[in-house]
Structure 1
Amino acid sequence: MKITIDQKQFERLIDYHQIKKRIRLIGIQLNVTYENQHPVFIGVLNGCFMFMADLMKQIHIACELSFVKLASYTGTERQARVKELIGLEMDLAGRDVVIVEDVVDSGNSLKHTLDIIRAQQPRSVAVCTLLLKPDALVHQFDNIAYVGFEIANDFVIGYGLDYNGAGRTFPDIYRETRG
Protein backbone atom coordinates (compact mmCIF):
# COMPACT_ATOMS: atom_id res chain seq x y z
CA MET A 1 0.00 0.00 0.00
CA LYS A 2 1.28 3.47 -0.88
CA ILE A 3 0.23 6.88 0.41
CA THR A 4 1.00 10.42 -0.69
CA ILE A 5 1.53 13.47 1.52
CA ASP A 6 2.54 16.81 -0.02
CA GLN A 7 3.73 15.14 -3.24
CA LYS A 8 5.89 12.69 -1.29
CA GLN A 9 5.26 8.98 -1.78
CA PHE A 10 5.44 6.52 1.09
CA GLU A 11 5.20 2.71 1.10
CA ARG A 12 4.33 0.43 3.99
CA LEU A 13 7.37 -0.74 5.93
CA ILE A 14 5.96 -2.29 9.13
CA ASP A 15 2.41 -3.54 9.62
CA TYR A 16 0.54 -2.63 12.82
CA HIS A 17 0.15 -6.32 13.75
CA GLN A 18 3.96 -6.71 13.72
CA ILE A 19 4.25 -3.58 15.86
CA LYS A 20 1.75 -4.93 18.42
CA LYS A 21 3.58 -8.27 18.68
CA ARG A 22 6.93 -6.59 19.21
CA ILE A 23 5.49 -4.22 21.83
CA ARG A 24 4.03 -7.19 23.73
CA LEU A 25 7.53 -8.75 23.88
CA ILE A 26 9.16 -5.49 24.99
CA GLY A 27 6.48 -5.15 27.68
CA ILE A 28 7.31 -8.62 29.01
CA GLN A 29 11.02 -7.71 29.14
CA LEU A 30 10.30 -4.47 31.00
CA ASN A 31 7.97 -6.20 33.48
CA VAL A 32 10.68 -8.75 34.29
CA THR A 33 13.53 -6.23 34.48
CA TYR A 34 11.67 -3.76 36.71
CA GLU A 35 9.56 -6.26 38.67
CA ASN A 36 10.71 -5.04 42.09
CA GLN A 37 11.36 -1.39 41.20
CA HIS A 38 9.13 1.60 40.60
CA PRO A 39 10.48 3.01 37.31
CA VAL A 40 9.63 6.30 35.66
CA PHE A 41 8.80 6.06 31.96
CA ILE A 42 9.60 9.32 30.16
CA GLY A 43 8.08 9.67 26.71
CA VAL A 44 9.61 11.98 24.13
CA LEU A 45 6.74 13.77 22.40
CA ASN A 46 5.17 14.06 19.94
CA GLY A 47 6.29 10.95 18.11
CA CYS A 48 6.17 8.49 21.02
CA PHE A 49 2.51 8.95 21.93
CA MET A 50 1.12 5.90 20.09
CA PHE A 51 4.05 3.65 20.99
CA MET A 52 4.01 4.70 24.64
CA ALA A 53 0.25 4.26 24.94
CA ASP A 54 0.41 0.73 23.54
CA LEU A 55 3.54 -0.08 25.57
CA MET A 56 1.95 1.06 28.84
CA LYS A 57 -0.96 -1.32 28.20
CA GLN A 58 1.62 -4.12 28.48
CA ILE A 59 3.27 -2.83 31.68
CA HIS A 60 1.89 -4.53 34.79
CA ILE A 61 4.25 -3.17 37.43
CA ALA A 62 4.08 -0.08 39.61
CA CYS A 63 5.47 2.87 37.64
CA GLU A 64 5.09 6.55 36.86
CA LEU A 65 4.87 8.42 33.56
CA SER A 66 6.16 11.77 32.42
CA PHE A 67 6.90 13.46 29.10
CA VAL A 68 9.28 15.89 27.42
CA LYS A 69 8.66 17.53 24.08
CA LEU A 70 11.55 18.11 21.71
CA ALA A 71 11.85 19.30 18.12
CA SER A 72 14.69 18.04 15.93
CA TYR A 73 13.21 17.92 12.41
CA THR A 74 12.18 20.43 9.78
CA GLY A 75 10.19 18.54 7.14
CA THR A 76 12.30 15.47 6.40
CA GLU A 77 15.59 17.10 7.45
CA ARG A 78 17.22 16.35 10.81
CA GLN A 79 18.47 19.44 12.61
CA ALA A 80 21.74 19.45 14.56
CA ARG A 81 20.21 21.61 17.28
CA VAL A 82 17.43 20.13 19.42
CA LYS A 83 14.78 22.50 20.75
CA GLU A 84 13.17 21.73 24.10
CA LEU A 85 9.49 22.66 23.85
CA ILE A 86 8.29 21.09 27.13
CA GLY A 87 10.82 20.28 29.83
CA LEU A 88 10.97 17.61 32.46
CA GLU A 89 9.04 18.50 35.60
CA MET A 90 9.87 15.56 37.85
CA ASP A 91 12.63 14.79 40.35
CA LEU A 92 14.54 11.74 39.10
CA ALA A 93 17.27 11.55 41.75
CA GLY A 94 17.86 7.91 42.70
CA ARG A 95 15.10 6.67 40.36
CA ASP A 96 15.14 4.04 37.61
CA VAL A 97 14.28 5.80 34.36
CA VAL A 98 13.16 4.37 31.03
CA ILE A 99 13.20 6.84 28.14
CA VAL A 100 10.58 5.96 25.53
CA GLU A 101 11.43 7.15 22.00
CA ASP A 102 9.64 6.68 18.71
CA VAL A 103 12.84 6.59 16.65
CA VAL A 104 16.54 7.00 17.33
CA ASP A 105 18.29 8.12 14.18
CA SER A 106 21.17 10.60 14.58
CA GLY A 107 20.79 10.39 18.35
CA ASN A 108 20.84 14.17 18.81
CA SER A 109 17.52 14.33 20.65
CA LEU A 110 18.32 11.22 22.69
CA LYS A 111 21.66 12.72 23.76
CA HIS A 112 19.84 15.93 24.75
CA THR A 113 17.29 13.95 26.78
CA LEU A 114 19.98 11.84 28.44
CA ASP A 115 21.93 14.96 29.43
CA ILE A 116 18.82 16.44 31.09
CA ILE A 117 18.02 13.21 32.93
CA ARG A 118 21.58 12.37 34.01
CA ALA A 119 21.93 15.85 35.52
CA GLN A 120 19.36 14.72 38.10
CA GLN A 121 21.44 11.67 39.08
CA PRO A 122 18.97 8.81 38.58
CA ARG A 123 19.93 5.33 39.76
CA SER A 124 19.67 3.92 36.23
CA VAL A 125 18.67 5.04 32.73
CA ALA A 126 17.55 2.70 29.96
CA VAL A 127 16.27 3.60 26.50
CA CYS A 128 13.30 1.94 24.84
CA THR A 129 12.80 2.86 21.19
CA LEU A 130 10.33 1.58 18.65
CA LEU A 131 12.72 2.22 15.74
CA LEU A 132 16.50 2.37 15.60
CA LYS A 133 18.45 3.54 12.54
CA PRO A 134 21.98 2.26 13.27
CA ASP A 135 23.43 3.73 10.04
CA ALA A 136 22.27 7.24 11.00
CA LEU A 137 23.75 7.35 14.52
CA VAL A 138 26.31 10.09 15.15
CA HIS A 139 26.53 9.39 18.89
CA GLN A 140 27.37 6.19 20.77
CA PHE A 141 24.91 4.91 23.38
CA ASP A 142 25.38 2.03 25.77
CA ASN A 143 21.91 2.14 27.29
CA ILE A 144 19.60 1.45 24.32
CA ALA A 145 18.19 -1.66 25.94
CA TYR A 146 14.86 -2.20 24.17
CA VAL A 147 14.46 -1.89 20.39
CA GLY A 148 11.32 -2.68 18.45
CA PHE A 149 12.82 -2.69 14.96
CA GLU A 150 16.14 -1.77 13.37
CA ILE A 151 15.52 -0.04 10.05
CA ALA A 152 17.50 1.60 7.26
CA ASN A 153 18.11 5.34 7.32
CA ASP A 154 14.82 6.10 5.53
CA PHE A 155 12.40 8.86 6.46
CA VAL A 156 9.38 7.19 8.09
CA ILE A 157 5.85 8.23 9.05
CA GLY A 158 2.86 6.62 10.71
CA TYR A 159 2.24 5.21 14.17
CA GLY A 160 2.99 8.59 15.77
CA LEU A 161 5.69 9.71 13.31
CA ASP A 162 4.88 12.58 10.98
CA TYR A 163 5.87 14.61 7.97
CA ASN A 164 5.06 18.29 8.61
CA GLY A 165 2.33 17.25 11.05
CA ALA A 166 0.68 14.71 8.73
CA GLY A 167 0.69 10.92 8.89
CA ARG A 168 0.85 10.42 12.67
CA THR A 169 -2.47 8.61 12.85
CA PHE A 170 -1.69 5.83 10.36
CA PRO A 171 -1.51 2.54 12.31
CA ASP A 172 1.28 1.16 10.10
CA ILE A 173 4.76 2.63 9.55
CA TYR A 174 5.63 3.87 6.07
CA ARG A 175 8.95 4.84 4.49
CA GLU A 176 9.51 7.50 1.89
CA THR A 177 10.04 6.09 -1.59
CA ARG A 178 12.55 7.54 -4.01
CA GLY A 179 11.52 8.38 -7.56
Structure 2
Amino acid sequence: MMSHNERMKITINHKQFERIIDYSQIKKRIRLIGIQLNLAYENQHPIFIGVLNGCFMVMADLMKQIHIASEISFIKLSSYEGTARRDRVSELIGLDHNLEGRDVIVVEDIVDTGHSLKHTLDAIYAQNPASVAVCTLLLKPNALQHTFDNIAYVGFEIDNEFVVGYGLDYQGLGRTLPDIYREIPPGP
Protein backbone atom coordinates (compact mmCIF):
# COMPACT_ATOMS: atom_id res chain seq x y z
CA MET A 1 0.00 0.00 0.00
CA MET A 2 1.45 3.36 -1.07
CA SER A 3 0.30 6.90 -0.50
CA HIS A 4 1.68 10.34 -1.39
CA ASN A 5 1.37 13.71 0.27
CA GLU A 6 2.18 17.26 -0.82
CA ARG A 7 5.69 17.61 0.67
CA MET A 8 7.22 14.87 -1.51
CA LYS A 9 6.88 12.27 1.18
CA ILE A 10 5.41 8.85 0.63
CA THR A 11 4.29 5.99 2.81
CA ILE A 12 4.88 2.36 1.86
CA ASN A 13 3.53 -0.29 4.21
CA HIS A 14 3.65 2.06 7.21
CA LYS A 15 7.20 3.30 6.52
CA GLN A 16 7.67 6.98 5.71
CA PHE A 17 10.02 8.11 2.93
CA GLU A 18 11.09 11.56 1.69
CA ARG A 19 12.34 12.45 -1.77
CA ILE A 20 16.09 12.99 -2.02
CA ILE A 21 16.79 12.78 -5.78
CA ASP A 22 14.25 13.76 -8.39
CA TYR A 23 13.99 12.27 -11.85
CA SER A 24 15.35 15.37 -13.62
CA GLN A 25 18.61 15.04 -11.62
CA ILE A 26 18.76 11.31 -12.39
CA LYS A 27 18.27 11.96 -16.13
CA LYS A 28 21.09 14.56 -16.15
CA ARG A 29 23.53 12.20 -14.40
CA ILE A 30 22.64 9.30 -16.69
CA ARG A 31 23.10 11.53 -19.75
CA LEU A 32 26.59 12.47 -18.51
CA ILE A 33 27.48 8.84 -17.78
CA GLY A 34 26.26 7.93 -21.28
CA ILE A 35 28.56 10.55 -22.81
CA GLN A 36 31.50 9.17 -20.78
CA LEU A 37 30.71 5.60 -21.87
CA ASN A 38 30.34 6.56 -25.54
CA LEU A 39 33.81 8.16 -25.43
CA ALA A 40 35.50 5.44 -23.35
CA TYR A 41 34.20 2.58 -25.50
CA GLU A 42 34.11 4.38 -28.86
CA ASN A 43 36.20 1.79 -30.74
CA GLN A 44 35.07 -1.26 -28.78
CA HIS A 45 31.94 -3.40 -28.76
CA PRO A 46 31.02 -3.64 -25.06
CA ILE A 47 28.31 -5.77 -23.53
CA PHE A 48 26.14 -4.09 -20.90
CA ILE A 49 24.97 -6.52 -18.23
CA GLY A 50 22.11 -5.28 -16.08
CA VAL A 51 21.55 -6.82 -12.66
CA LEU A 52 17.83 -7.41 -12.09
CA ASN A 53 15.40 -6.56 -10.66
CA GLY A 54 16.53 -3.12 -9.58
CA CYS A 55 18.48 -2.06 -12.66
CA PHE A 56 15.61 -1.99 -15.14
CA MET A 57 14.97 1.77 -14.88
CA VAL A 58 18.66 2.73 -14.97
CA MET A 59 19.32 0.35 -17.86
CA ALA A 60 16.41 1.69 -19.92
CA ASP A 61 17.44 5.32 -19.50
CA LEU A 62 21.16 4.62 -19.89
CA MET A 63 20.79 2.65 -23.11
CA LYS A 64 18.90 5.57 -24.68
CA GLN A 65 22.17 7.54 -24.28
CA ILE A 66 24.48 4.88 -25.74
CA HIS A 67 25.26 5.48 -29.41
CA ILE A 68 28.11 2.99 -29.90
CA ALA A 69 27.93 -0.61 -31.07
CA SER A 70 27.04 -2.65 -28.00
CA GLU A 71 25.02 -5.56 -26.71
CA ILE A 72 22.70 -5.85 -23.73
CA SER A 73 22.07 -8.74 -21.39
CA PHE A 74 20.46 -9.17 -17.98
CA ILE A 75 21.30 -11.39 -15.04
CA LYS A 76 19.59 -12.02 -11.75
CA LEU A 77 21.05 -13.08 -8.45
CA SER A 78 19.11 -15.55 -6.38
CA SER A 79 19.77 -15.32 -2.65
CA TYR A 80 19.42 -18.16 -0.21
CA GLU A 81 15.93 -18.08 1.24
CA GLY A 82 15.07 -18.86 4.83
CA THR A 83 18.43 -17.98 6.34
CA ALA A 84 19.13 -15.09 8.66
CA ARG A 85 21.99 -13.92 6.45
CA ARG A 86 20.63 -12.39 3.27
CA ASP A 87 24.17 -11.52 2.12
CA ARG A 88 24.74 -15.10 0.93
CA VAL A 89 24.10 -15.26 -2.78
CA SER A 90 23.50 -18.63 -4.35
CA GLU A 91 23.72 -18.26 -8.12
CA LEU A 92 23.66 -16.07 -11.17
CA ILE A 93 20.70 -16.67 -13.48
CA GLY A 94 20.73 -15.71 -17.14
CA LEU A 95 24.42 -15.18 -17.95
CA ASP A 96 24.02 -16.58 -21.46
CA HIS A 97 26.74 -14.69 -23.35
CA ASN A 98 30.33 -15.83 -23.74
CA LEU A 99 32.28 -12.99 -22.12
CA GLU A 100 35.78 -14.19 -23.00
CA GLY A 101 37.77 -11.30 -24.44
CA ARG A 102 34.78 -8.94 -24.16
CA ASP A 103 34.58 -5.50 -22.59
CA VAL A 104 31.86 -5.80 -19.95
CA ILE A 105 29.95 -2.98 -18.26
CA VAL A 106 27.93 -4.13 -15.25
CA VAL A 107 24.92 -1.88 -14.61
CA GLU A 108 23.58 -1.74 -11.04
CA ASP A 109 20.89 0.36 -9.42
CA ILE A 110 22.74 0.47 -6.09
CA VAL A 111 25.93 -0.84 -4.51
CA ASP A 112 25.71 -0.94 -0.72
CA THR A 113 27.56 -3.78 1.09
CA GLY A 114 28.96 -4.99 -2.23
CA HIS A 115 28.17 -8.67 -1.51
CA SER A 116 26.04 -9.16 -4.62
CA LEU A 117 28.40 -7.11 -6.80
CA LYS A 118 31.36 -9.24 -5.68
CA HIS A 119 29.43 -12.40 -6.56
CA THR A 120 28.49 -10.96 -9.97
CA LEU A 121 32.06 -9.91 -10.72
CA ASP A 122 33.49 -13.27 -9.64
CA ALA A 123 31.18 -15.02 -12.12
CA ILE A 124 32.07 -12.55 -14.91
CA TYR A 125 35.85 -12.70 -14.27
CA ALA A 126 35.65 -16.50 -14.40
CA GLN A 127 34.90 -16.10 -18.13
CA ASN A 128 38.10 -14.13 -18.75
CA PRO A 129 36.72 -10.86 -20.16
CA ALA A 130 39.04 -8.22 -21.63
CA SER A 131 37.81 -5.61 -19.15
CA VAL A 132 35.07 -5.07 -16.58
CA ALA A 133 33.70 -1.72 -15.45
CA VAL A 134 30.85 -1.15 -13.02
CA CYS A 135 28.25 1.55 -13.55
CA THR A 136 25.92 2.15 -10.60
CA LEU A 137 23.28 4.81 -10.13
CA LEU A 138 23.73 4.84 -6.34
CA LEU A 139 26.75 4.04 -4.19
CA LYS A 140 26.81 3.85 -0.40
CA PRO A 141 30.54 4.25 0.32
CA ASN A 142 30.04 3.90 4.09
CA ALA A 143 28.25 0.55 3.71
CA LEU A 144 30.85 -1.16 1.48
CA GLN A 145 32.35 -4.33 2.92
CA HIS A 146 34.45 -5.17 -0.14
CA THR A 147 37.06 -3.20 -2.08
CA PHE A 148 36.40 -2.65 -5.78
CA ASP A 149 38.80 -0.96 -8.17
CA ASN A 150 36.43 -0.97 -11.12
CA ILE A 151 33.40 1.07 -9.97
CA ALA A 152 34.03 3.54 -12.75
CA TYR A 153 30.67 5.30 -13.21
CA VAL A 154 28.62 6.48 -10.23
CA GLY A 155 25.45 8.53 -10.45
CA PHE A 156 25.17 9.59 -6.81
CA GLU A 157 26.91 8.73 -3.56
CA ILE A 158 24.39 8.50 -0.72
CA ASP A 159 24.52 7.94 3.01
CA ASN A 160 23.89 4.50 4.45
CA GLU A 161 20.12 4.94 4.36
CA PHE A 162 17.32 2.76 3.04
CA VAL A 163 16.08 4.08 -0.32
CA VAL A 164 13.23 3.28 -2.71
CA GLY A 165 12.11 4.40 -6.14
CA TYR A 166 13.53 4.30 -9.66
CA GLY A 167 13.82 0.51 -9.60
CA LEU A 168 14.46 0.10 -5.86
CA ASP A 169 11.72 -1.43 -3.76
CA TYR A 170 10.50 -1.96 -0.24
CA GLN A 171 8.58 -5.23 0.11
CA GLY A 172 8.02 -5.25 -3.64
CA LEU A 173 6.60 -1.72 -3.77
CA GLY A 174 8.04 1.58 -4.95
CA ARG A 175 10.05 0.35 -7.95
CA THR A 176 8.02 2.39 -10.44
CA LEU A 177 8.44 5.74 -8.69
CA PRO A 178 10.47 8.03 -10.97
CA ASP A 179 12.26 9.73 -8.05
CA ILE A 180 14.39 8.28 -5.25
CA TYR A 181 13.23 8.48 -1.64
CA ARG A 182 14.99 7.72 1.65
CA GLU A 183 13.38 6.26 4.73
CA ILE A 184 12.49 8.74 7.44
CA PRO A 185 13.40 7.12 10.77
CA PRO A 186 10.41 6.84 13.10
CA GLY A 187 10.23 9.65 15.66
CA PRO A 188 10.95 9.13 19.37
Q: CA deviation at 1:82?
A: 1.7
Q: Which runs of 5+ in 2 are unaligned?
A: 1-7
Q: Which runs of 5+ in 1 are unaligned?
A: none
Q: CA deviation at 1:164?
A: 1.1
> Aligned pair 1:43/2:50, yes or no?
yes
Task: Assess if the C-alpha contact under 8 Å between 1:15 and 1:173 holds in 2.
Answer: yes
- The Cα offsets for residues 44-90 of structure 1, whole Å up to 9 and x where unpaired, read as 0000000000000000000000111124599xx98221243623111
> Aligned pair 1:136/2:143, yes or no?
yes
Larger-gyration structure (1/2): 2
Residues 147 and 138 from structure 1, CA distance in 2 versus in 1: closer, same or farther, beyond 3 angstroms? same
Residues 44 and 133 from structure 1, CA distance in 2 versus in 1: closer, same or farther, beyond 3 angstroms? same
Runs of 4+ residues deviating >6 angstroms: none
- Percent of aligned pairs with the same amino acid: 76
- The Cα offsets for residues 116-168 of structure 1, whole Å up to 9 and x where unpaired, read as 00000000000000000000000000000000000001011000000111000
**Which one of the candidate residues 176, 183, 186 is aligned to 1:176?**
183
Cα distance between partner residues in 1 of 2:100 and 2:92: 22
Task: Assess if the C-alpha contact under 8 Å between 1:72 and 1:109 holds in 2.
Answer: no
Q: Which amino acid aligns with 1:48?
A: C
Aligned-residue CA RMSD (Å):
1.6
Cα distance between partner residues in 1 of 2:139 and 2:85: 15
TM-score by length of 1: 0.95
Question: Could you tell me which residue of structure 2 aligns to residue 158 of structure 1?
Answer: 165
State which drifts further: 64-73 or 132-141.
64-73
Paired residue secondary structure (1:159): coil
Cα distance between partner residues in 2 of 1:92 and 1:6: 41
Cα distance between partner residues in 2 of 1:116 and 1:177: 36
TM-score by length of 2: 0.91
Count of paired positions: 177
Q: How does 1:26-41 map to 2 (within 5 A)?
A: 26-41=33-48
